[in-house]
Structure 1
Amino acid sequence: MTALLRPLVGRQARLRWVHLVLGGALAMPYVLVGTVVVGSVAGSEDARVFTSLTLQLASFVVGLPLAVVTSLFPLTRPLEGAAARWLCGVPAERLAEGPARGRAAKARTALWFALHLTFGAVVAGMSLALPPFAAVLIVLPFVPAWRDSRLGLPEILDHAWAPALAPVAGVAALLALAACAAGAGALLARWAPALLGPAPDERLAAAETRAADLALRNRLACELHDSVGHALSAVTLQASAARRVLGSDPEFVREALAAIEETTRRTVGELDTVLGVLRDGDASGTAPAPTLAADLDGLLRRTRAAGQPVAATVDAPLEDVPPVLSREAYRIVQEGLTNALRHAAAGVTVTVHVDLRDGCLEIVVDNPLVAPAPTRDGGGHGLDGIRARSRLLGGTARAGPVDGVWRLRVLLPVPPSPRPPAPDKEPS
């Protein structure tokens, strides 16, 4: 029995009934305006405008176009969408956010508002009339005086068998009310995504926003992987090397600790930058991102302090590289050195070559091939990040064994610098 009555009187059905009653309440001002119009047309001597069902329906028909016009206000769709979400149980992702824009979206909102008010007015009217009538029918056999006074009840109740069936009719009336409310609420819940859902252009805009958010998250993940991953690898090697010579080479230990301090301080600044973007969507007021021109020497120095020999040659005017390209190139070199720190044999020299030729910035990082190091769970994203950065800048990235070394080679196109306008020639 409970399973049979749940669709009629369950929590969801009760919330949808509240939604419909709110629609009936919203319809009342428009019905009153329609009553004034219908009363003036019918004549002031016709007082039945407030009691006649026909005239009340005519008043609703007259007031409904006014409701459609007022549904064009910007707040209508957000408010109706919130009501459909919380009371009708429509998932939030299937409803549009913000006011309706465009003729089609406004027309769908107006149609929804008209349906909400129409169904709401019917169910609200039934909710006001049927429960008292049903209550009278249910108790009628137990109160003979009510049968004698009539109370405006239908003449069919004058039959001898009518009082015995009156309670059944009363219960049936309540069930009919519950069924009408549940059915109307289910219809509105089914139509809500089509009428209050996003238009195709709104879906496209939402998809673009989600894609931009995902791209930003991926970018921040790459930043964290490159900066924090390199710092942890360097600090681990520096601490390990310092521990091995702690009693025999205090000067090396002192340099290693200074390098660890510098590396961690710089990494904290970069981490603050990334967290600032995650927290506020703005990196203003945080440490600037490192660039190839300003920070390559420090990167090489910290890598050497970790005990990894690095031979670097730079055949390019790094200060002429555009800032965005310089930042990405720094991260690429950093990740290349991080891989060398993890996989190159101790004491083996890693070579870094940066050159500018044929309109491209070339980055090459070589380290001799050794036995493959054990991989760690969740690792292996560094080369993917390098390839993603290269594709974003229109370049290419290749990594693999070449002539006995593991080579990372990246080519990034450098946009030409804008030429200053030629000076005007004086007329001869």
Structure 2
Amino acid sequence: MGARVTMLWRRLLVLLIGGVIAVPYIAVVIWVVTAWNQLTDRGAALGILATGTVTFVLLCVPAFLAVIRALERTLAEQLLGLTIPTPPRRASSADRLRGALFYAGHAFSGALLLVTVIVVIPSAVLLTADPHLVKSLSPGFIGTTGSDGSAPGGDVGAGSDGAMVILPAALIQVLAPLCLLLLVALIIAEGYFLPHYAQILLGPSAADRAALASAERVHRFRRTVLAREVHDSIGHALTVTTMQAAVAKRALHTDPTLAEAAVDEIAATGREAVAELDHVLALLRAETEGGDRGDGNDQAGSADGQGDGIEEGAVAGERPPRRTMRDIERLAEEARSLEHPTVLTVTGDAAALPEAVVGELHRIVREAVTNSLRHASEPGLSVTISVRDDAAWVETRNASTANGPALDRGHRDRRAPPDESVGRRGKMRSPGLGAVASARESRGLRGISERAELFGGHARWGVDDGQWILQVTLPFGEEAE
């Protein structure tokens, strides 16, 4: 009940503000009408009419200003509880026209409320009590007769007394409250529909809504990228750190050199994770402070950005670590230091790979190493990277006893090495997958697939002949555009 009363009060307040806005316009109209009726010199009366018209037009000019539209939008948000998106560009002529229409409707609604409260209610009460006051209240425009058809003085037909309209007193007593009720109903309808036409006239146009939706998709995509970065980097760092700590504990008394190397690796992994976390936090802070400069032209799937561009363009001066093939080799060395035999094979001209592709290869291998360390049924990981003219292809294999999705070899990718059949993303779930198989369907794997799609490639994973296999194709060059 309290919320409804508050809502009604706020809508009434909006209408009252509209009445205040309408006061200058009402004053000009009253001044012109009064002068026109009282002046006998038609030339002077026409001058007053022209002056009033010019004044009225000048008073209408602010209705087309963008600042007035912004103020009306703020008023609607604060008092009507609306959320009206701000257009992603400067106000156009159509926007100004829609704002002027709302301004006019707001002023008219307020004027109607003001006139009803100040003029109509007192007049209705007086006419209901004494209908013969109609002539004085209508400056002689309406006259009245008694119930027997006589004028107030008693002479039949003498009630006109120069009035243009003659109405029976009983009819005036009915019309006065009826007109009041109609005006009140109209004001209530205006208050009810006020939020609706505020959204229509003050909100973004169809094109603006499409632009805002596109910007929101870009924003959500960036957030997904950041979440993926945190998952990949921190997840890998925690896995390696935990296992290196276990190695250091075992070797502490028997092999101090190995224990020291494990501790050094923990420190290096921690420093790298902190650097990547600092980058992600900088991006989040930039978005919170309004540093998100993305617009409708910032396409997530741009071949130039190839995934990394989302992070790079967000904050000037805050750049993610630049990966090289040496960083990928270091991942293999890191796994081997944890007594997890890892073979890395690179064929083709790796030096010709674009920087973005190398960065994505690093993410793929890092996720594969992390998953292998966590879930492999026995130590060991094989990583094969093949660089061709227009694409990079990567495959990782480790032992697995999981009843996971089977690897589909039904589609062949012409950019894969001749002895392999890399198909489209094929996550074919079989009934009753176990916990390990569910772990395979991790955020990291989904992230790999999404990133591959940004490059115009695809990823798939599954179990084949007792091995867990991940295969990814990353096109680059003209065909990736």
TM-score category, normalised to shorter length: 0.7 to 0.9
Aligned residue number for residue 196 of structure 1: 202
Q: Does residue 351 of the first structure (1) align with residue 382 of the second (2)?
A: yes
Q: Does the 8 A contact of 2:21 with 2:107 survive in 1? A: yes
The one-letter amino acid of 1:297's match is E
Q: Does the 8 A contact of 2:88 with 2:211 survive in 1? A: no
Distance verdict in 2 for CA 1:36–1:299, change over 3 Å: farther
Shift of 1:192: 2.1
Aligned residue number for residue 215 of structure 2: 209
Aligned residue number for residue 241 of structure 2: 235
- Note the residue ranges of structure 2 that are not aligned, 5 or more in a row: 42-49, 130-135, 139-143, 147-151, 153-176, 288-313, 404-433
Aligned residue number for residue 472 of structure 2: 410
Shift of 1:280: 0.3
Deviation per residue, 1:372-428 (Å, 9 max, x gap) = 7844889722211111111110112222234443222212112169xxxxxxxxxxx
The one-letter amino acid of 2:202's match is L
- Note the residue ranges of structure 1 that are not aligned, 5 or more in a row: 47-57, 141-151, 159-170, 418-428
Q: Does residue 399 of the first structure (1) align with residue 391 of the second (2)?
A: no
Q: Secondary structure at the match of 1:92?
A: coil
The one-letter amino acid of 1:122's match is L
The one-letter amino acid of 2:354's match is P
Q: Does residue 29 of the first structure (1) align with residue 20 of the second (2)?
A: no
Shift of 1:37: 4.9
Shift of 1:249: 2.2
Q: Secondary structure at the match of 1:288?
A: coil
Deviation per residue, 1:245-280 (Å, 9 max, x gap) = 333222221111111111011001001111111110
Aligned residue number for residue 333 of structure 2: 301
The one-letter amino acid of 2:396's match is V
C-alpha distance in structure 1 between counterparts of 2:98 and 2:246, whole Å: 68
Distance verdict in 2 for CA 1:269–1:98, change over 3 Å: closer
C-alpha distance in structure 1 between counterparts of 2:22 and 2:54, whole Å: 12
Which deviates the most, 96-105 or 58-67?
58-67
Q: Secondary structure at the match of 1:394?
A: coil
TM-score by structure 1 length? Answer: 0.74
Which of residues 101, 110, 122 in structure 1 aligns to 2:112? Answer: 122
Q: Does the 8 A contact of 2:282 with 2:318 survive in 1? A: yes
- Give the paired residue count: 376
Distance verdict in 2 for CA 1:190–1:370, change over 3 Å: closer
Q: Does the 8 A contact of 1:112 with 1:192 survive in 2? A: yes
1:3-402 matches, cutoff 5 A: 10-35=5-30, 37-38=32-33, 41-42=36-37, 66=58, 68-89=60-81, 91-93=82-84, 97=87, 101-129=91-119, 181-281=187-287, 282-286=314-318, 288-346=320-378, 348-371=379-402, 374-375=435-436, 380-402=442-464
TM-score by structure 2 length? Answer: 0.67
Q: Secondary structure at the match of 1:31?
A: helix
Aligned residue number for residue 420 of structure 1: none
C-alpha distance in structure 1 between counterparts of 2:216 and 2:11, whole Å: 32
C-alpha distance in structure 2 between counterparts of 1:379 and 1:243, whole Å: 32
Q: Secondary structure at the match of 2:13?
A: helix
Aligned residue number for residue 54 of structure 1: none
Q: Does the 8 A contact of 2:11 with 2:80 survive in 1? A: yes
Q: Structure 1: which 4+ aligned runs deviate by more than 6 Å?
A: 58-64, 130-137, 152-156, 171-178, 376-379
Q: Does the 8 A contact of 2:402 with 2:463 survive in 1? A: no
The one-letter amino acid of 1:31's match is I
C-alpha distance in structure 1 between counterparts of 2:265 and 2:215, whole Å: 42
Deviation per residue, 1:171-216 (Å, 9 max, x gap) = 9999998766433311323322222232110110111011110111
Distance verdict in 2 for CA 1:400–1:213, change over 3 Å: same
Q: Does the 8 A contact of 2:346 with 2:385 survive in 1? A: yes
C-alpha distance in structure 1 between counterparts of 2:216 and 2:315, whole Å: 20
The one-letter amino acid of 1:228's match is I
Which deviates the most, 101-110 or 205-214?
101-110
Q: Does the 8 A contact of 1:72 with 1:110 survive in 2? A: yes
Higher helix proportion (structure 1 or 2): 1
Q: Does the 8 A contact of 2:65 with 2:96 survive in 1? A: no
The one-letter amino acid of 1:216's match is R
Distance verdict in 2 for CA 1:338–1:98, change over 3 Å: closer
The one-letter amino acid of 1:310's match is T
Shift of 1:241: 2.5
C-alpha distance in structure 2 between counterparts of 1:231 and 1:186, whole Å: 58
